[in-house]
Amino acid sequence: MFIKRSFRNRLLLAFLSLFVIVQVSSFLIIDRVITRAARERATDDLRNAAIILKQFLLERSDLLIQGASLFSRDYAFQQTYFADDRETIRSALLSLQQRIHADFILLLADEDDWPVRVQTPRGEDEGKPFKHPELLEESIEAGEPGSWVISRDQGLVRMVAVPLLAPEPVAWLCVGFKMDEKLVKSLERFVGFGVSLVKEVDGQLLVVTSSLGPDARNTVEIALASRSSDQKDFQVVMNDELHSLHLRDDSSLLLHASLERALQPLRQLQRVFALLAFLALLVVFLLGKTVAKTVTQPVERLVQGVRRVTAGDLTAEVAVERDDEIGMLANSFNVMARGLEEKEKVRSLLGKVVSNQIAEELLRGKTVQLGGEIRTVTVLFTDLRSFTTTCEKMQPEEVLHFLNRYLDCMAKVVEKHGGVIDKFIGDAIMAIFGAPVSLPDHARRAVECGREMHSELKLLNEKLRQEGRPEIAMGVGIHTGEVVAGNMGAENRLNYTVIGDTVNVAARLESETKSVGRSPLFSQATLEAACLNTDEVALIGPLHVKGREQPILVSTLKE
């Protein structure tokens, strides 16, 4: 389909295709680079936010440790502890809880299994062993207060443990805050990203609390289960949006951000880019159309000129005034048209002097070899009988008109059968079959030509009788053999003809038609070359012709 389009449309389409390819390629490359950069930036932002949140939680844990440590050194509280005044202890702990913004406080006795002595707010853990004694052992071994994230009341809490010194540890204050949805929401507002808290249960990470909805939580848990153990950054589709997630194992923090939101500036840039690309495409289209028109207009003129030349109008001329290759092409076309016009004039004039075949061969300069060549041809001679007597009572103009009428009729018959008229000799015609253009059946053509010439002569005589003019008679002689064919004469005046004994024999056979009274007469060589049936041939017999010692076997066509 592309090849069948006009040159102008193809040129314009090439402009637009190249522009679209460049624009689309640029768009895809820019989109890929910016998208990758956005994803990397989102991952880096999540990592940095996780570090900030971890530091925030540690600082809050440090505040709890500082507040609990100052409280544990209070002499009055120590005395109250040794007095085992539970209500006073509870009241003091509640006051401490409010000051340091803790969600719970456990006072553990330094005994086996670390039993909970007092709990605020009051709970069911009082009087029961502490559920995480290993943490206290860890803190004792470290010689400093400890801080951990533990499971408590089906959730996560951040807890610190501070010893009550008198001067040796006699009890432990476990102070903590809940890591619940309220905390998660505050953390989300603080860093601007979604926050979830996870814990490991039976080797699988589960979301304890999150700023996400229930469906999104399930999706996150599935993604956590399918990731590799060392993979901290991954992506998942939630709520029909692609999210980037970062897991910080040491703080049970899972942060997530919507990549679609991160890519919103890119999408806006893409829309601007698409608008600019459309405007640029419109400009390129108009510019390409102008350029294509500038290029193709002279080409279309050349095409019109070629069509006029093809139709035979050799006066066609292309008016293109340009200094580029198209202008050179137009000038060359005009020169070519003038050359063809001159050549056609020469062909026309030459065709009126010699036969069309000879004219074509002379103009092509291929088949005819200057100096002559040996060819096997069939030569046909024809001559009018008693033409001088017939024309005695005619004016010269009438004689010329009468002769041209006869010669024109016979010439058409010769050309019809592929013969070449070598020359007109008064009222005689010399025709060649097989030169300059080779004809494999030249002999049969010559015989058929002789037959039709007599048929045409009958029609011509019928018209002459109707006009009151005298009838005419004609003799035809045909012979086949080798001749020398070529251009003969002076260097500046050539004449294509054939010479040789074959020509003489054909002329003699034409003369013998007078004595034999039959026409056409053709030799045995012509009979054999023409492959005529014996049913259509009448044998005349051997004849002695002038210039030949041996008689020639002559035949004619049956009437």
Question: What DSSP string runs through 87-149?
Answer: HHHHHHHHHHHHHHT-SEEEEEESSTT-BEEEEES--TTTTSB-S-HHHHHHHHHHTS-EEEE
Give the residue, 312 or 412, on which the prediction is more confident. Answer: 412
Residues 431 and 474 reside in one and the same domain: yes
pLDDT computed for residue 458 by the predictor: 93
Radius of gyration of the chain (CA): 60
19 occurs within a structural domain: no
Q: What is the mean pLDDT of residues 198-202?
A: 80
CA atoms within a 13 Å half-sphere pointing along the CA-CB vector of 105:
29
- CATH number for the domain harbouring residue 171: 3.30.450.20
Domain boundary among 299, 325, 352: 352
Split at pLDDT 50, 70, 90, the class of 377 is very high
Least confident of 197-211, 415-429, 467-481: 197-211
Domain boundary among 300, 323, 352: 352
Residues 410 and 536 reside in one and the same domain: yes
User: Hey, what long-range contacts does 285-292 have (CB within 8 A, 24 or more apart)?
Assistant: 285/12, 285/15, 285/16, 287/15, 288/11, 288/12, 288/15, 288/16, 289/12, 291/11, 291/15, 292/8, 292/9, 292/11, 292/12, 292/15
Q: Is the pLDDT of residue 432 over 70?
A: yes
Split at pLDDT 50, 70, 90, the class of 368 is very low
- CATH number for the domain harbouring residue 442: 3.30.70.1230
pLDDT computed for residue 526 by the predictor: 93
Q: Is the pLDDT of residue 4 over 60?
A: no
As for how many domains the chain has, the answer is 3
Residues 412 and 325 reside in one and the same domain: no
Q: What is the mean pLDDT of residues 25-34?
A: 79
pLDDT computed for residue 349 by the predictor: 52
pLDDT computed for residue 354 by the predictor: 54
35 occurs within a structural domain: no
Q: Is the pLDDT of residue 117 over 50?
A: yes
Residues 409 and 339 reside in one and the same domain: no
- Residues 251-285 as b/e (b if ≥16 CB within 10 A, e otherwise) read bbbbbbbbbeebbeebeeebeebeeebeeeeeebe
Average pLDDT, rounded, for the chain:
82
66 occurs within a structural domain: no
Least confident of 81-90, 109-118, 313-322, 397-406: 313-322
Residues 348 and 378 reside in one and the same domain: no
Q: Is the pLDDT of residue 357 over 80?
A: no
Residues 327 and 469 reside in one and the same domain: no
Residues 340 and 486 reside in one and the same domain: no
Least confident of 21-25, 244-248, 347-351, 471-475: 347-351
Whole-number percent of the chain with pLDDT over 70:
87
452 occurs within a structural domain: yes
Q: What is the mean pLDDT of residues 284-293?
A: 73
pLDDT computed for residue 459 by the predictor: 93
Give the domain extent around 492. 367-557
Residues 378 and 421 reside in one and the same domain: yes
pLDDT computed for residue 2 by the predictor: 43
Residues 455 and 344 reside in one and the same domain: no
Q: Is the pLDDT of residue 537 over 80?
A: yes
46 occurs within a structural domain: no
Q: For the chain, what percentages of helix, strand and coil (3-state, to nearest 5) are there?
A: 50, 25, 20
Least confident of 77-81, 162-166, 227-231: 227-231
**Residue that is written with structure tokens 């229930």 in the block:** 214
Residues 395 and 320 reside in one and the same domain: no
Give the residue, 532 or 341, on which the prediction is more confident. Answer: 532
Helix (H, G, I), strand (E, B) or coil at 383: strand
pLDDT computed for residue 346 by the predictor: 59
Residues 390 and 445 reside in one and the same domain: yes
293 occurs within a structural domain: no
pLDDT computed for residue 306 by the predictor: 73
Pairwise CA distance, residues 80 & 104, whole Å: 20
Q: What is the mean pLDDT of residues 28-44?
A: 79
Give the residue, 19 or 115, on which the prediction is more confident. Answer: 115
Q: Is the pLDDT of residue 234 over 90?
A: no
Least confident of 85-89, 358-362, 513-517, 552-556: 358-362
87 occurs within a structural domain: yes
Q: What is the mean pLDDT of residues 320-345?
A: 70
pLDDT computed for residue 369 by the predictor: 47
pLDDT computed for residue 359 by the predictor: 60
404 occurs within a structural domain: yes
Domain boundary among 296, 322, 352: 352
Residues 425 and 318 reside in one and the same domain: no
Q: Is the pLDDT of residue 392 over 60?
A: yes
Q: How far lies 183's CA from each of 92, 197, 215, 445, in Å?
A: 26, 10, 21, 117
Q: For the beta carbon of residue 213, count every other beta carbon within 10 angstroms.
A: 11
pLDDT computed for residue 362 by the predictor: 56
